[in-house]
Structure 1
Amino acid sequence: MIDLDTIDRSLLRELCRDATQSASALGRKLDLSQPATWRRIKRLRESGVIKGQRLDLDREKLGFGVTVFLGIKLVTKGRVSLEDFERAVSAIPEVQTVEHILGLYDYRLRVVARDIADFERVLRRRLMTLPGVGDVEANVILSEERRTGPIG
């Protein structure tokens, strides 16, 4: 774990809000010079606090109007290795995230689809045919509010 001061935390909050901001623009907001801001960003990257940058795509504008969280319980963990399941499910393009969890289900998936009929097709033809899939619970997202991570 790296020690973060208040400036580091403010910098991370700003980058979470908009990672495309330049070091000089961030420096102006945080009352730092551009080189000092760049050095802090570089240190946060090198220490692994900043793992990368991602695009936040508007799924609806891309034609994916339905997002579903699936809880999946494997039938028998002994016969099907977790790695085999993870590899197979990760190859399905509609699956956005695969989380191995503790609780009622073994995995939680975030799946996008064009509409409910498209989701049903993905569920029946791709997900339910995976090795070891047992119980499945689907939760359709009605609305979503994005919150930044724990950068106190």
Structure 2
Amino acid sequence: MLDDIDRRLLRQYQHAPDLSPAELAERAGVTPATCARRLDRMREQGIIRAMRAVIDWRALGYEVEVSLRVALDKTQPRAFEEFTDAARQVPEVVEIQTFLGRVDLRLSVIARDMAHYQQIYRSAILPLPHMADVEALMHVARIKSDEVLPV
């Protein structure tokens, strides 16, 4: 379980993961050694999974995002594995989520423009194996996209 010191470290770390260990320790009110030891422990426990760069794909010219709801042919025993393996190979598929219910998966697909999306859809999405149904939802706006947790 996390104590108050762990929570203080995580709050600071989430907002500024690029801080030096000394700066993070100072902001959290602990010594640098305590900070390093606790961060190492939280990494080992899988609480802190990674540090990563978040790239704005719109700044790279991708102006279209489409959410595809996919229902799979559940009569095929390996439908899920074969579909997800193939979908992972499509570079423009930036997210794959699974669900229980009528929709099995959701793919988030990015494209430079609608013509590019149509090309991706026809050449890379439609050939994916075991699709029984697909519904496209055009992304209009991202209201909230935040991975910061209330710790």
TM-score, scaled to structure 1: 0.88
Query: Does the C-alpha gap of structure 1 residues 115 and 14 become closer, same or farther in structure 2, counting only changes over 3 Å?
Result: farther
Among 22, 25, 28, the residue aligned to 1:24: 22
Instruction: For structure 1, list consecutive stretches of 5 or more residues without a partner in the other structure.
Output: none
Give aligned pairs, total: 150
Q: Is the 8 A contact 1:69 1:110 kept in 2?
A: yes
Q: Is the 8 A contact 2:15 2:148 kept in 1?
A: no
* Residue type at the aligned position of 2:129: P
* Residue type at the aligned position of 1:97: E
Q: Is the 8 A contact 1:85 1:131 kept in 2?
A: yes
- Give 1:79 shift: 5.6
Instruction: For structure 2, list consecutive stretches of 5 or more residues without a partner in the other structure.
Output: none
Among 56, 59, 66, the residue aligned to 2:57: 59
Which residue number corresponds to residue 113 of structure 2? 115
Q: Is the 8 A contact 1:9 1:151 kept in 2?
A: no
- Give the Cα separation in 2 of the matches to 1:15 and 1:77: 46
Instruction: Map 1:1-150 to 2 at 5 A.
Output: 3-78=1-76, 80-144=78-142, 145-150=144-149
Query: Does the C-alpha gap of structure 1 residues 128 and 51 become closer, same or farther in structure 2, counting only changes over 3 Å?
Result: same
Aligned-partner SS, 1:10: helix
Query: Does the C-alpha gap of structure 1 residues 10 and 66 become closer, same or farther in structure 2, counting only changes over 3 Å?
Result: farther
- Give the Cα separation in 2 of the matches to 1:132 and 1:86: 10
- Give the Cα separation in 2 of the matches to 1:27 and 1:98: 36
- Give the Cα separation in 2 of the matches to 1:104 and 1:10: 41
Query: Does the C-alpha gap of structure 1 residues 46 and 79 become closer, same or farther in structure 2, counting only changes over 3 Å?
Result: closer
Aligned-partner SS, 1:28: helix
